[in-house]
């Protein structure tokens, strides 16, 4: 069972309702039982606009490169005949949700809207690695200093 709390004045403090739930859970455990305890920092989720911007820029760059190479949707769907339909960002998004699924800490499959920064970062890296290794596309790392450039 997980219990969220905050570090305050050097100690872990739980809100009263969680502290009570934790106490009851502790009392329900049989004497002599082996108990696993761990502490981790809860990662804040990125906002939808942040994730959308990062993901959208990555997909836009991939769409441009695939179009420059003359690929249509038959390429990503592994069809033997050309479709004549341009690959769009939505096509790539659906593709990567299947090719590089995101799983939360409980092992459940999720989308970017439900991911934290660690899960989103892994998904971006997995998608870029796939594009590089399977399609020969190079998607550069975002420039963290872009605001400082004139």
144 lies in some domain: no
Q: Residues in the chain, how many? A: 150
| Measured distance CA(118)–CA(130) in Å, rounded | 18
31-43 burial: b if 16+ Cβ within 10 Å, else e:
eeeeeeeeeeeee
Return the number of other C-beta atoms located less than 10 Å from residue 108's C-beta.
Answer: 9
Kindly state whether residues 36 and 81 are assigned to the same domain.
Answer: no
- Whole-number pLDDT of residue 37: 81
71 lies in some domain: yes
| Measured distance CA(71)–CA(131) in Å, rounded | 13
Which pTM value belongs to this model? 0.62
The SS3 of residue 5 is coil
- Using alpha carbons, select from 70, 65, 113, 68 the residue that is nearest to residue 92: 65
- Whole-number pLDDT of residue 148: 58
| Measured distance CA(25)–CA(36) in Å, rounded | 13
Return the number of other C-beta atoms located less than 10 Å from residue 59's C-beta.
Answer: 21
Residues of the domain holding 36? 1-42
Kindly state whether residues 71 and 91 are assigned to the same domain.
Answer: yes
Kindly state whether residues 64 and 16 are assigned to the same domain.
Answer: no
What is the full per-residue pLDDT of the chain (150 aa) written as tens digits? 677 788 889 988 878 878 888 888 889 999 999 988 887 776 665 566 666 677 888 899 999 999 999 999 999 999 999 999 999 999 999 999 999 999 988 889 998 888 887 888 889 889 999 999 999 999 887 655 545 554
80 lies in some domain: yes
| Measured distance CA(150)–CA(134) in Å, rounded | 36
Kindly state whether residues 58 and 86 are assigned to the same domain.
Answer: yes
Report how many helices (DSSP H) and strands (DSSP E) the chain contains, helices first: 5, 4
| Measured distance CA(78)–CA(96) in Å, rounded | 14
- Whole-number pLDDT of residue 142: 62
- Using alpha carbons, select from 7, 115, 100 the residue that is nearest to residue 59: 100
- Whole-number pLDDT of residue 80: 94
């Amino acid at each position: 069972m997980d219990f969220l709390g905050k570090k305050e004045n050097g100690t872990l403090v739980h809100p009263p309702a969680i502290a009570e739930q934790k106490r009851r859970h502790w009392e329900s455990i049989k004497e002599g039982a082996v108990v696993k305890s761990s502490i981790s920092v809860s990662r804040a989720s990125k906002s939808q606009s942040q994730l959308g911007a990062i993901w959208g820029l990555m997909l836009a760059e991939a769409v441009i490169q695939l179009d420059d190479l003359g690929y249509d949707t038959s390429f990503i769907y592994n069809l033997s005949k050309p479709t004549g339909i341009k690959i769009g960002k939505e096509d790539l998004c659906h593709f990567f949700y299947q090719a590089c699924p995101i799983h939360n800490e409980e092992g459940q499959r999720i989308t970017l809207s439900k991911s934290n920064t660690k899960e989103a970062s892994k998904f971006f890296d997995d998608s870029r690695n796939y594009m590089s290794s399977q399609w020969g596309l190079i998607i550069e790392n975002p420039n963290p200093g872009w605001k400082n450039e004139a």
